Structure 1
Amino acid sequence: MPKAKHSAQHQAVAHQNVSSPDPSYEVVNRVVFPIRDEDLTMPLYCIEWTRPHLTDAVMDARINMQSVDFAHMNSTQLQHLIDESVSSRDARSSSDVFHVDSRTALTVHAGKHVSLCTFFNAFPAGYWRRWTRISSVRFTAQVQGQGALTLFRSTGRGLFSPVETVPVDSATPTTVTVDFDMHGLMDGGYFWFDAKASDDSSLQVQDAAWSVPLAERRVKEQTTLSIAITTFNRAPYCMNQLKTISAEPPLRARLDTIYCTDQGTDLVQNQPDFDAVAKELGDQLTYIRQGNMGGSGGFSRGMYETLKAGKSSYTLLLDDDAISEPEAILRAVQFADYCVKPTIVGGGMLHLDNRTVLYTQGERFTRHNIWMAPSGGLAYNHDFAVFPLRDSPERHRRIDSDFNGWWMCLIPTAIMQEIGLSLPIFIKFDDTEYCLRALEHGYHTVCLPGVAVWHQAWHDKDPSRTWEEYFFQRNRWICALLHSPKPSLRFMYEMLYGDVNVGLKFVYSAFKLRHMGLRDIMRGPQYIVDSMPGKLAEVRKAREGFADTTMYTDRNELPAPKREYVAQQTPQSPAVIKKQGLKAIAKALISRGDGTHDTEPDIAIDAKDAIWRAFTGINSAIVTSPDGSSIAWCRRDSKEFRKQVKRGLLLSSELLKRWEHLSEQYRSYNMAGVDVWKRIFEGQ
């Protein structure tokens, strides 16, 4: 393969036969490969090389300012649009192209070509350029066989170019080293390598890694971390987390201990493998039992114990039911070590049931409506198996975040010492609020590409149909009081919108929980803290007796519906949908419909279709639960709907009138203080 040309500004130098890594550089990203579930996750690590293609919009952003005018498009233009939109990919198995030899080694078969421009193995240079002071990055790898490595770099626009092509022709392992400078990365960009075997011989690449100058590390001493895992009756999942961590020597070398806070009745310590794993981990496992205080109580316990022990530089919050990539944990720690100031380092969330789909890589907090949106306008649920990183130019842009979900989040001890622990609010908005609080103290949150866990996605969940709706409603507006001292009429609109939404779906239990949440907010921060341990039981009790909370697991327990709901297949414009929604609200407010005495349901609605449109024009419906495990016979009660909407308006109006006073109360009360949590833990 001919050597690629490169300008002097790349400062890329290829060295071979280097016996050992330069001690002045520190490895911060190892190139790793999956050794289990390869068929489900491999596109996140390594893919077969395909000819690159960039759309016109990458070259000229103005193209995306124009809508597509199909009416004036000729056949040539239509074909061009199709060619731009459709990508043909070989359906053959990756094993036909390469073979994973170990966690850090792969062999490219003769005549084959692979790319490491993937989620887990491309180096996120743009993020290192923004948040650290490193001046260069070094790539090293052990190679053997015949072929070539080609090193690439991209910009924030997704444009990329070769930096260096290194021929390989060696029967014994040989070291390749290539240095990169940090120019052209202000808006983002990645470094990566492709590997191509010769037609006659395979090519092995092992121990590939990205290193940075050790002298440019902010934290001069060796750092360590504690891991906080909280679990509630998910013992097998939590056990798998402990096994994964215990089997990863590089991670354990930086680990002080795992604080496993078990808040359930199906205990992790009763799992068959617990004793063996506990023995393997030794004092690197601290098993704690406490009453159920939700995610905020479980994670705060780990944070609290970390501060009390006084050893760890960081605490990693890690969900019990997530599947971890251990290398990602190390990357988060290494990145935090080099950040200019203490920084919260978060990871993305990949779908547990569709392993190549990235739910999000960082989110923004939208203050006008106290909600969230994907950072940088990037869509949720990006599938790297269909749209690889190299061919997704929008993913090369560095995106900044306001907060990171606590499925995986590394928090420096210095930040915890200054701003405290999580709010004592059980679940929901604890992660959002913490990062906003940190930002107000000058500490940013970075969701770092190449750092992620697999976690159950939200498409089979609907908080409005569970007890979680109380905590969603209450904690959303507590977060608003803490970080938006001035009220907005938009807040009242959001509260009304939420009420109407659950009412249109006949979920009257949610009305009760939502209004209960607003009343509790107005009782003040002391009440929120004092009610922490027993609030869940109270909320569960409040949901009892509603048609939408009376669940059946046997379909034959209920009469057959008159018909089944079939979703409208004809797409409509947002303006038309909005008009239909307003019409549905108006009809519901004047309706005299009553399904409370129906003897047979009007309709059956599947979980995926259980939105307001499915409930228009009917009085009762059999509705499948979001997880598909049960059904409820939901019934219209028009009088109750009007009553609860009116009550919600009165409560939200009162909250807005008292907003500034309540905001001052909540902001001056140190709800997340270590002393507050100490009282909660000792008082259980």
Structure 2
Amino acid sequence: MTTTDNPGADRVARLLQRQILPIDRDTDVFPLYVDLEEAKLDTDRDAVGGDKAAKDLNNAAIRQSTSTGRKLHPDQIRSRTALRLEPSQLLSFGTYFNAFPASYWRRHTIVDQVQLTVSVTGAGATVTVYKSMARGHSQRVDAATVEGDSGTFTFSLTLKPFVDGGWYWYDVVAGDDGATVESAEWTAEVPTDRAEHGTVDLCITTMLPDMSAQLLTQLGDAEELKPYLDTVFVMDQGKEKVTDSEYFPAAREGLGDTLRVIVQGNLGGSGGYARGQLESVRKGTATYAMMMDDDVVCEPEGIIRAVTFGDLAKRPTIVGGHMFNLYSRSELHSFGEIVQPWRFWWQTRLDGYSQWDFAARNLRSSRWLHKRADVDFNGWFMCLIPRVVLEEVGLSLPVFIKWDDSEFGLRAKAAGYPTVSFPGAAVWHVPWTDKNDGLDWQSYFHHRNRIIAALLHSPYERGGRMVRESLNHQVKHLASLQYSTAELRHLAMEDVLRGPHALHGELATKLADINTFRKQWSDAQLHTDRDELPPVRRKKPPKKGKSDIEIPGRKATAVAALLAPLRQLRPVRDMSGEFPETELTAMDAKWWNLVKYDSAVVSMNDGTSVALYRRDPAHYRDLLKRTIDIHRRFHREWPELARQYREALGDITSPEAWEKTFTPWTGQGDSTGEAASTRDGKA
């Protein structure tokens, strides 16, 4: 990975990317592979200017669909790489999976020139190559026409003008009798010591036997992927085992000796991934370890592309995939994420958009997608990490779930190893918006681990806005009657104060402890049947008949934020202890609605249950006092806490520390995991 390339050395052609089409011919994902729409580029932000109203209007316009609804018939897909065009039909391959992300190759790899080779059958068919600049403007580069029955065309393309962004792609227009694009390949001449591809250990942590077995089956069915797989580690942490799933025999048959199932206690995502990282490092035979969620649908070609990109990177580089919505499969969660240093919160980069639907607005029309997205980290739903990086910077932080991936990205970045969220490598996953992880038991890990990550990596003496924002959120949860969430967040802060060396010891027990702890409060007691709770009744109707679905203006919101904490000190209204005063859907259960009530039935984001929120002034006073006290302490002790955590980081993320944590499931002195694992599902 650190070889210095000799310009005079022998060079060989290496495949970087090939044209692919959906494996299952799912029409929902066609826009990610082939585009039938025209390109209608949105307005340049410099032309919009800095006026907020103008920017808001432009953002709304960018979100509007430009799609005409043209559809590709599934029968036009002839194979994994071949597509049939109807007579005179025009198709663009300027799409997420088939455009070539030139700026990423230009910035991060040794490649400076690529060759595009397109094979087409059908007299009169035309292939046109385009490129885009970072501002999204497209330029015609070259073209060729099939003279006889078929033609194979090679275009030499430089990467020189892609410093800030830009893509290459090709469009095809069929002749009078139609055409078939048989294949297209992007290749480059590389030094002979970069000719062979690396191998990858896939690390999948699971508590979902059926979903993980189906993922394993999908991976095993991808013949072109097999040469790249060293070992597929499945860290089984659930009560029901993946080896007992009805789908597991097919997975075992497809992956054969490559598959290894490791059984251990529930140590969360960080404990599961750390076990895979440890096994990969100790085994030492794979170039990379790839973290992958168990509840995803994978595009196997993305794994190959990630490995190829990593092989040709200038320096060892973490290569992440993107996440699409499993339920709206053309919708991208985020094109690149950063940790905002002053707030110390993860977010889509500031000049990007989240929840982007390629079926509504294609790649060629979306100006912002052409600027290269530089990131701080990539989520571990799909993330390729070179083994040399794990050996130098350590394994996952022992934090159960949340912030383990982002902290690792920041740690690697500080050591000189960048992360690239790489277009063309992706999985489909349940979107975060369908989960309740900001309020349920996960709120403990969200808050604790965010603080720990900030202590480790914030460039500001007292974490920037971290402590103040924590206080603001705590008061918001209290005013919203979310006492269990507020108590968990308070517990999280107390546990941070215990220091870094307590983290390993409580990995296996903390989840059970916090679940028991939070059930004291009614907002954490979930009911699948709404009729288990009393009906809505109240003495007085809502003031002026106002509806909870109305979103208040800025002035009303500011007034509500000032008054809400004070209102919680008033006595509760008659009947509110016996009957809920209202019923709110998850989408309407915003703080500005919740603060108006003394009790409410609130549905959860996943749509499976409801909870009863009840206002308790005495509890509010007690927890508000504790909240103020602990935030004052954090502000005062932040520098010393940061020193403690930073000095301990190398120790608590070391293979040796993790080996001790895994000892109950490996046998005394056994660090290989063989004693507690199955190979091919056999003990």
Task: Output the TM-score relative to the length of structure 1.
Answer: 0.90
- Correspondence 1:671 to 2:652: yes
Q: Which residue does 2:679 correspond to in 1?
A: none
Q: Which residue does 1:36 correspond to in 2?
A: 24
Q: Which residue does 1:341 correspond to in 2?
A: 315
CA contact (8 A) 2:205 2:272 kept: yes
Q: Which residue does 2:331 correspond to in 1?
A: 357
Q: Which residue does 2:184 correspond to in 1?
A: 208
SS of the residue corresponding to residue 290 of structure 2 reads: strand
**C-alpha spacing 1:610/1:181, structure 2 compared with 1 (3 Å):** same
Q: Which residue does 1:166 correspond to in 2?
A: 144
CA contact (8 A) 2:36 2:70 kept: no
Q: CA deviation at 1:671?
A: 1.1
1:13-39 per-position Cα deviation (integer Å, ceiling 9, x unaligned): xxxxxxxxx982211111111031521
CA contact (8 A) 2:64 2:360 kept: no
Moved more, 463-472 or 359-368: 463-472
1:327-370 per-position Cα deviation (integer Å, ceiling 9, x unaligned): 11111111111111001111111111111111102211112122
Alignment-mate amino acid for residue 150 of structure 1: T
- Correspondence 1:331 to 2:305: yes
1:411-436 per-position Cα deviation (integer Å, ceiling 9, x unaligned): 00000000111011100110010001
Q: CA deviation at 1:450?
A: 1.3
Alignment-mate amino acid for residue 354 of structure 2: Y
Q: Which residue does 2:680 correspond to in 1?
A: none
Q: Which residue does 2:597 correspond to in 1?
A: 618
SS of the residue corresponding to residue 73 of structure 2 reads: helix
SS of the residue corresponding to residue 195 of structure 1 reads: strand
| In structure 1, distance between residues paired with 2:390 and 2:611 | 44
Q: CA deviation at 1:642?
A: 2.4
SS of the residue corresponding to residue 473 of structure 1 reads: helix
Alignment-mate amino acid for residue 342 of structure 2: H
CA contact (8 A) 1:324 1:453 kept: yes
CA contact (8 A) 1:49 1:113 kept: no
| In structure 2, distance between residues paired with 1:579 and 1:394 | 36
| In structure 2, distance between residues paired with 1:276 and 1:69 | 55
SS of the residue corresponding to residue 48 of structure 1 reads: coil
| In structure 2, distance between residues paired with 1:82 and 1:319 | 33
Q: CA deviation at 1:597?
A: 6.3
| In structure 1, distance between residues paired with 2:512 and 2:310 | 39
CA contact (8 A) 1:594 1:636 kept: no
Alignment-mate amino acid for residue 379 of structure 1: Y
Q: Which residue does 1:511 correspond to in 2?
A: 486
Moved more, 422-431 or 500-509: 500-509
Q: Which residue does 2:678 correspond to in 1?
A: none
Q: Which residue does 2:160 correspond to in 1?
A: 183
Q: Which residue does 2:437 correspond to in 1?
A: 463
Q: Which residue does 1:552 correspond to in 2?
A: 527
| In structure 1, distance between residues paired with 2:547 and 2:450 | 34
- Correspondence 1:603 to 2:590: no
- Correspondence 1:47 to 2:31: no
SS of the residue corresponding to residue 253 of structure 1 reads: helix
Residue from 626, 630, 636 that aligns with 1:657: 636
Q: Which residue does 1:412 correspond to in 2?
A: 386
| In structure 2, distance between residues paired with 1:413 and 1:29 | 23
Alignment-mate amino acid for residue 128 of structure 1: W
CA contact (8 A) 1:495 1:648 kept: no
Residue from 557, 572, 578 that aligns with 1:577: 557
Alignment-mate amino acid for residue 143 of structure 2: T
Q: CA deviation at 1:139?
A: 0.6
Alignment-mate amino acid for residue 534 of structure 1: T
Q: How does 1:382-421 map to 2 (within 5 A)?
A: 382-421=356-395
SS of the residue corresponding to residue 411 of structure 1 reads: strand
Q: Which residue does 1:245 correspond to in 2?
A: 219
Q: Which residue does 1:230 correspond to in 2?
A: 205
Moved more, 100-109 or 639-648: 639-648
Q: Which residue does 1:641 correspond to in 2?
A: 620
Moved more, 411-420 or 542-551: 542-551
Q: CA deviation at 1:170?
A: 3.3
Alignment-mate amino acid for residue 267 of structure 1: K
Q: CA deviation at 1:162?
A: 1.0
| In structure 1, distance between residues paired with 2:202 and 2:575 | 50
1:50-103 per-position Cα deviation (integer Å, ceiling 9, x unaligned): 2x3334x33x72433345579xxxxxxx9x99999865533242119x811111
Q: Which residue does 1:61 correspond to in 2?
A: 46
CA contact (8 A) 1:596 1:635 kept: no
How many pairs align? Answer: 645
Q: CA deviation at 1:220?
A: 5.8
CA contact (8 A) 2:237 2:267 kept: yes
Structure 1: stretches of 5+ with no match in the other structure = 1-21, 71-77
CA contact (8 A) 2:18 2:186 kept: yes
Q: CA deviation at 1:137?
A: 1.0
Q: CA deviation at 1:483?
A: 1.1
| In structure 2, distance between residues paired with 1:647 and 1:540 | 21
CA contact (8 A) 2:325 2:431 kept: yes
CA contact (8 A) 1:596 1:637 kept: no
Q: CA deviation at 1:280?
A: 2.9
SS of the residue corresponding to residue 680 of structure 1 reads: helix
Structure 2: stretches of 5+ with no match in the other structure = 1-9, 666-683
CA contact (8 A) 1:141 1:176 kept: yes
Alignment-mate amino acid for residue 591 of structure 1: R
Residue from 131, 135, 157 that aligns with 1:153: 131
Task: Output the TM-score relative to the length of structure 2.
Answer: 0.90
Q: CA deviation at 1:277?
A: 2.3
Q: How does 1:82-93 map to 2 (within 5 A)?
A: 89-93=67-71
Q: Which residue does 1:135 correspond to in 2?
A: 112
Q: CA deviation at 1:164?
A: 1.0
SS of the residue corresponding to residue 578 of structure 2 reads: coil
CA contact (8 A) 2:17 2:305 kept: yes
1:242-296 per-position Cα deviation (integer Å, ceiling 9, x unaligned): 0111111221111101001110012110112312321331221011110000000
**C-alpha spacing 1:425/1:163, structure 2 compared with 1 (3 Å):** same
| In structure 2, distance between residues paired with 1:578 and 1:607 | 22
Moved more, 521-530 or 219-228: 219-228
| CA RMSD across the alignment | 2.4
Q: Which residue does 1:73 correspond to in 2?
A: none
